[in-house]
Amino acid sequence: MPNPAMIVAPQPEAVEAGADALAAGGSAADALVACALAQGVVDPMMCGLAGLGVLQIHDPASGETTVLDALSTCPAAAREAMWADRFLGECSDGYGYRLEGAANEIGHGAVTTPGILRLLELAHRRWGRLPWHGLFDAAIGHAEEGWTVRPHVHVMFTADEAPYGRLSMTDKLAFTPEGRALYLRGDGTPKRPGDRVVNPAMAATLREVAAGGAEVLHGGALGARIADDMARHGGLLTRDDLAGFRVAEAPPLRVAFQGHVVAVPAPPAGGIVVAEALRILERFDLAVLGHNTPPYIHVVTGAMRVALADREAHIGDPAFHAPPLDRLLSDAHADAAAARIRAGLPAPALREAGEPRDTTTISVLDRDGRLATLTQTLGVPSGVIPPGTGIMLNGAMNWYDPRPGRPGSIAPGKKRFSSMAPTVLFGPDGRALATLGAPGGAWIGVALIQVLLNLVVFRMTMQEAVQAPRFSATTPAIDISNRIPRAVQRELERMGHKVKRSFHSYPFAAPHGIALAGGVPQGGADPQRDGMALRVD
């Protein structure tokens, strides 16, 4: 009997598309491509053909673990000071910058050079088995025949990001005639759970890409239509930008933790936050402290704060600013941080933070034991749907600092730091034990740290690990889930911490993953989203 396979993601339609690929004999790469394409249809503000992403894949046959980085780049026409005189301030969640007129967030000037389609094609070429064009069937079917708005899609459609300093999602949906026709009701409000979305233009676009591959966007007719629309409306993106985009390939960043090895993507992706925090936490007996006790939360949030502060201070695009990874991951740095936590010294100051929710994830295991995990996004949606394409373009220029001379400042060809951190966990014998990822902006790292601790220290199943109550240290306060007991909150406050209780039961990102227990896959889908895990025998 063949080994079982599994796929997990936040959208049931996308999970089914990936499971169908696995059932047809497809590899992890095949399933991931089919799932990712379907996600772009049924979660159109989260991701799509004009988005960006990071993939990590482990092949047990070769022993190789590879990261593919398709984070978007500033178009060549971008200039460091082009918006400096319009700068109003930083978004309060640490993801984005406010400009007078919001040109970096909505409209054609907000669009960066996308890369996700090149990533999917490269992954399929390297590790796929099924025909490329067949992996589009589910996505095309949902676009052409229609799909039903789910609860979390509606949450996204109606999200008011004004508290963070960004526009509402409804403004993005209404930006173009195509967006209004697709996603709004007759009264101008977003479609509600149970309403249908039919997008024949997107189906036609998907058919083009199924027939011609990524080159259709990066050098062909689709890219030309998008570039022409950019030119008509003063956008930065050009045909040359699209043609010149290349996926970066590298091994993951690896750190040891309690006899295990955790593999995460290096900067400009967000694995450094996970890696540095785990290096610090290695210095504590977390099992003795006990899961989610006040001393445990004190220690873990202390490590989070150090890692997050170091990320803010030191991490950008390595091609422009070399990150001091050796120092940040050194024994000396971890020892010093652990000593400060034990001594109860003040943690590094952090800005207020929240969650840009426009990101999604996939984890997949195939019958050959290959594990893959992808996180993809639009950055923030730009609102731009070029006529006749049916696809929303990314708005990732919002991530770049309009002030010159900073690590995150605008520059042609530059990538911006992203918290996305698709992760693979290896056991003491070197075998892959789990793969996981999460949407959730600044909360991605803190959520993945806790899931890893739940798996390694407390021996939880993957479902237990992703749904256990979480906390966060991305703000000056310790933010806690509403399922963390009030007695724990009171004790933390007696210890000198400011604590803020969320009214959500499952806040702080939305991790999804697959663990292998004795070779048997266990899926975990965070209950706050609409997704699931499917096993394929």
| 3-state SS, residue 228 | helix
CB 422 within 8 A of CB 55: yes
Alpha helices in 105-173 (DSSP H): 116-127, 137-145, 151-157, 169-173
Q: What is the rounded CA–CA span in Å between residue 78 and residue 474?
A: 30
CB 238 within 8 A of CB 75: yes
Reference 14, options 106, 121, 138, 153; nearest CA is 138
> CA triplet 191, 192, 195: central angle to 5 degrees?
75
| 3-state SS, residue 182 | helix
Measured in degrees and rounded to the nearest 5, phi and psi for residue 119 equal -60, -50
| Number of Cα atoms under 13 Å in the Cβ half of residue 275 | 30
Q: Which residues contact 189 (CB under 8 A, 6 or more apart)?
A: 170
Catalytic residue check, 359:
yes
CB 37 within 8 A of CB 132: no
For residue 349, the tally of other CB atoms under 10 A from its CB is 9
Tokens of 273: 């936050």
CB 11 within 8 A of CB 531: yes
Residue found by looking up tokens 């669009």 in the block: 111
- Of 359, 373, 389, 435, the active-site residue reads 359
DSSP-assigned letters across all residues of 39-94? HHHHSTTT--TT-EEEEEEEETTTTEEEEEEE--B--TT--TTTTGGGEEEE-TTS
CB 451 within 8 A of CB 277: no
CB 355 within 8 A of CB 46: no
CA distances to 70, 124, 240, 354 from 362, in Å? 15, 15, 31, 22
**Identity of residue 387:** P
Q: What is the rounded CA–CA span in Å between residue 33 and residue 470?
A: 30
Measured in degrees and rounded to the nearest 5, phi and psi for residue 68 equal -110, 120
Q: What is the rounded CA–CA span in Å between residue 169 and residue 156?
A: 7
Which residues are catalytically annotated?
359
